[in-house]
A and B are shown apart, each in its own frame.
Chain A
Amino acid sequence: MDKVNVTINGITVNVPKDYTVLMAAREAGIDIPTLCFLKDINEIAACRVCVVEVDVKGVPMRNLPASCVLQVQDGMNVRTNTPKVRSAVKMNVELILANHNRECLTCLRNGTCELQKLCDELGIDDIEFQGAKREAKIDNLSYSIVRDSSKCILCGRCVSTCRDVQGIGILDFTKRGFKTEVAPAFDFSMKDVPCVYCGQCIQACPVAALRERSYIDDVWDAIDDPEKFVVVQTAPAVRASLGEEFGYPVGTDVTGKMVAALKRLGFDKVFDTNFSADLTILEEGTELLSRVTNGGKLPMITSCSPGWIRYCELNYPEFLDNLSTCKSPQQMFGAIVKSYYAEKEGIDPSKIVSVSVMPCTSKKTEANRPEMEVDGYRDVDYSLTTRELGDMIKRARISFTKLPDEHTDSILGDYTGAGAIFGATGGVMEAALRTVADILTGKDLDSIEYQAVRGIEGVKEASVVLPIGGVDTEVKVAVAHGTANAAKVLESVKAGEKDYHFIEVMACPGGCVHGGGQSHVSAKARLDVNPKINRANALYELDRSLPKRKSHKNPEVMKLYEDYLKEPNGHLSHKLLHTHYVKRDSYIVEQEEEFAKMLEKLDK
């Protein structure tokens, strides 16, 4: 790439010519403020917070261009700290604030709000404009995502993320002028749109216009109720992000402190979703082997990610039979707690409250799916996000950083490295391969790290030669993360271009470590740190540190089979641990049936 010389505040830097002024300024060590800018995702110059004064070879540019989209030119002279720039930026932020619900003290994002931080940095001390404000609408009808129009600053970060990263497009700018609102089509509630509740919009939102629906109060009520026996499970990815709520660097494994905090919060038992991740491998691995040897539907596709399941139900119903019938680890765990565990410990299952802490907002909707119960007992009663757990720990005034490392409780707390890596894209695939390869070869294989399925490339492929029915067979697998990548893989299968045996799909880019329920990482911090990579590394390190790294070596899981389930995919497993899926329609119109018929007719 050709390089050009640009001078920024008197500092000359030599940068590639496709750089924006904003990126060039970073090279020069100059921090230009931004708000709507989300690198590679939302670069639309909407907020005008990153404006600069520019002249090229002595000729001043008209007005103040936005540095996030202004391409560098040789001989460009940029000034970011002139009276003109300072006053324009301040004015632009004040105009945004004039139509913003400024109840910061009672706002969920108090402390993590990017707008709040910007106001502090810019020294905003008064908002002169006392005009009308847009009508406040709060949509809290979905189980997962709350949309609050009074907080929205129309930056468009959620719009770009949903449409371009995830390939879904639930939110867009609607109406115009003062009435402009980022909203679903026809003002549908988030409950009634083909949203998969991945929460990537929440991760993109700089303010609290999009946030998770909180179940914290319900969990406190359960903990405070002496009649209830409250158990908690934490997903693999939570431990790689929870620390960020307490100042740890992005991607610090805080398993021990997390367990200690949960015990101090008053949960009666602290278990681990890693346990049921191992259990999932036994069930799903067995299902895969059975499909491969008995001519079942292939490729088999993982079913751990509820966002992915919803995406498939809404957009690719023709693949429903390809989905593994296994419930997700969250739901498996809940079903085991209220059956096996209750029986073993002699606890009335109706007294058990099953709480999960997830990196995910879609898990809240999954936990509320009507079929996710056994004998009338809900698998999971309340699903919290990593952020909500952070809030509970803060509210209980537990000094997280000073906590000792503690261990999860038996008999549902033990886990292997295979369960631990479920949180990273490719993790479920790798865990499954470790177990399936051992079963098929009849050996305890040493080579267990499948590097080809690791990393953050959108679609990863690998093939492993394994003896199936005595014949060496090339087992072809694919891993996709982010729903747009999932669509790519499914389209290639549909077109007959690819014939995989097994596909792992996670709805969120990067997998669960980058789920919609994880700790917020600001747009600015993301320029230096990639949470997908850092948090995944924490899980792979945890895997390497564990004495057992294959799911079928988990003693507590094997005990569960021995004492209760008897065998994977057996009768009891099917009752407790497996489920089914349904085709879902979206944006239902009054004559939906007629409409669908007409579409089908016209498509021919």
Chain B
Amino acid sequence: MIKGLDVRANERQFIELKEYIDSIRQSQGILMQTLHKAQEIFGYLPIEVQKFIAHEVDVPLAEVYGVATFYTQFSITPKGKHKIGVCLGTACYVKGSQLVLDKLSKELKVSVGETTEDNEFTLEATRCLGCCGLAPVMMIDGDVYGKLEPKKIPEILAKYKD
């Protein structure tokens, strides 16, 4: 179970979101716009934020949740401090990036799209990162790691652990 959002600590963010919703009330399709804004403000869309949106936009929570889980740019769970993106583009895949991804998943004890319990890492699969010569490739935050092998993973992860 994900820990609930600290409502009081995020009051400013809620106010910002409400001001945004009030500013677009007249336009059409405000649910999508609101979700984008909320994702930007909070970094993810926990139940508290979706419940707030349902209340403000006056749509059932199930509808908000339906849209939020349909589009991949929205996230229901918080993102970790470090974002790992493993390339599953054709070149990387042929060079074994799936094995790299599996190793990461095992080391971090999360599936693709999830965040570790300590909120340190979010593991994601990406499309081509544009450096196929280095395949298989992954990125952690801004850093690129090429010519990967599963056995190199623990060493790389260690650099990001305090």
Interface residues of A (CB under 8 A from B): 163, 168-176, 183-186, 587, 589-591, 594-595, 598-599, 602
Contact = CB atoms under 8 A, between A and B. Distances in A.
A138 to B, nearest CB: 19
8 contacts: A163-B63, A169-B61, A173-B70, A176-B70, A184-B62, A185-B50, A185-B61, A590-B5
B69 interface: yes
B42 interface: no
Given A175-B70, A184-B62, A587-B61, A602 B18 contact: yes
A602 B10 CA distance: 13
A595 B62 contact: no
Nearest to A180: B70
Nearest to B4: A590
Given A589-B48, A599-B55, A169 B63 contact: yes
Given A186-B47, A591-B6, A599 B52 contact: yes
B55 A591 contact: no
Most chain B CB within 10 A, of A183, A595, A599, is at A595
Nearest to B70: A176
B62 to A, nearest CB: 4
A186 to B, nearest CB: 6
B7 A185 contact: no
B4 A589 contact: yes
Interface string B36-76: 00000000000110111001000111111110011000000
Task: Categorize the interface residue count of chain B.
Answer: 20 to 34
B125 to A, nearest CB: 15
Given A589-B4, A594-B7, A602 B63 contact: no
A170 B66 CA distance: 11
A311 to B, nearest CB: 14
Nearest to B66: A172
B15 interface: yes
Given A163-B63, A172-B62, A185-B65, A587 B4 contact: no
B47 A594 contact: no
A175 B69 CA distance: 5
B162 interface: no
A464 B129 CA distance: 76
B50 to A, nearest CB: 7
Nearest to A601: B11
Contacts of A587: 47, 51, 61
B106 interface: no
B22 to A, nearest CB: 10
A168 B5 CA distance: 26
A168 to B, nearest CB: 7
Interface string B3-25: 11111100100110010000000
Given A186-B65, A594-B7, 12 more contacts: A168-B60, A169-B61, A175-B69, A185-B62, A186-B61, A589-B4, A589-B48, A590-B5, A591-B7, A595-B48, A595-B52, A602-B15
A170 B102 CA distance: 37
Contacts of B14: 598, 602
A102 B70 CA distance: 27
A594 B62 contact: no
